[in-house]
Amino acid sequence: MSYNPPAGPVGPPFSPGPPAPRWTEPQVHPSTLQSTDPMDEDFAAPAFDPPRHSPRAEQYAVPLPATAPPPITPEQVNGAITAAVQGRNAIIQAQNAELAHLRQAQLQSAAAPGYPAPRTETLKLAQPSRYDGKQDDNACEDWITEMREYIEYYAHRGHFRDESKKIMLAGGYLKDQARRLWSVRKKLSDEAPMGSSHKIDSLNHFFDVIRHACKEVNGQERIRADYNTLRQHSSVSDYAYDLLGLADQLVSKPPDSEVLERFKVGLQPHVQDRLAEKLDLPTELFAYINLADRIDRNWYEHCWMRRRDTGTVMHASAALNVLPLRP
């Protein structure tokens, strides 16, 4: 088998041949370069190339109106705006009504027994005055009215729902004599069993207790004042009857020895002078009253006889109306 070389010139073996041409960057004119700046309009997307017209495209083409639509007038614009605003207002009103209904339902559920109502009120009433137990110028009833209005105002707003808290609050607005009276009655109420008349379990019961207690105390004070200032203005028997009646009305009834001393102070001067002349005066109350009554009768009888002898007419009001003394 023989090797047949290819036709053509035969060079030396492993000849490198001619050198390969060197690549050079082509020269491009600046006008042909495309800008890469995004802000450059030349870098924008190419213009839309409409499709070529074809019989099928012309078949489905929408015909344009022959005339342009009429222009919109300002009245139409204003009407559209007004309608839009009215519609929005109607929606807002409906939402507000629904919110108000939900809010009312929440308040009613929150105000149920056992749940404190939300404190939405900021208005505060002036605190009531402090009552000292006096009855002057209907002070007790005025204080009760003021205290009741104060408690009811806050009770309707979720405060003081428990009667015991109302009583505790009202008791804090007492002072001096009224506070001392309430301390005694409160102790009796705390120790009394349920259902007892001494058990103070409501605000109205509390006001009744304060009213009667202060009335009794003030009544006692008036009786005591009358007892201490009573004087003889007619007969000794009348004076003694009034003095003993006042002593019986006092809660702490004074002993007979104290009533006797009080009786001596209130006698008229002519009776006191005659008694001072006596050396052996009785120490028992009713014996002393009987002696003073005899002296008084003798003195009036002596005065009546002198007027008769001198011709002076005695007025009917000077007649004695002797009342029986107590045994």
The first and second tokens of residue 324, run together, are 């029986």
Coil vs helix vs strand at 251:
coil
Cβ-based burial of 245 (10 A; exposed 0-12, middle 13-18, buried ≥19)? middle
Q: How far is CA 200 from CA 59, 159, 190, in A?
A: 102, 20, 8
**Spacing of C-alpha 59 from chain mean position:** 85
* pLDDT at residue 320 greater than cutoff 50: no
User: 173-177, 269-273, 306-310: lowest mean pLDDT where?
Assistant: 306-310
pLDDT confidence bin for 96, thresholds 50/70/90: confident
User: 42-46, 148-152, 215-219: lowest mean pLDDT where?
Assistant: 42-46
User: Residue ranges of the domains in the chain?
Assistant: 136-221, 233-318
Packing angle between helix 236-249 and helix 203-229, nearest 10 degrees? Answer: 150
Q: What is the pLDDT of residue 295?
A: 92
Task: Please give the average per-residue pLDDT across 301-319, as a whole number.
Answer: 63
CA distance 266 to 250: 18
Q: What is the pLDDT of residue 315?
A: 45
140 against 37, higher pLDDT: 140
pLDDT tens for 26-55 read 565 555 555 555 555 554 555 555 555 555
pLDDT confidence bin for 243, thresholds 50/70/90: very high
Name, in order, each residue with C-beta under 8 angstroms of 164's C-beta and a sequence gap of 6 or more: 201
* pLDDT at residue 119 greater than cutoff 50: yes
Distance from the first to the final alpha carbon of the chain: 187
Which position has the token pair 């839009």? 84
* pLDDT at residue 160 greater than cutoff 90: no
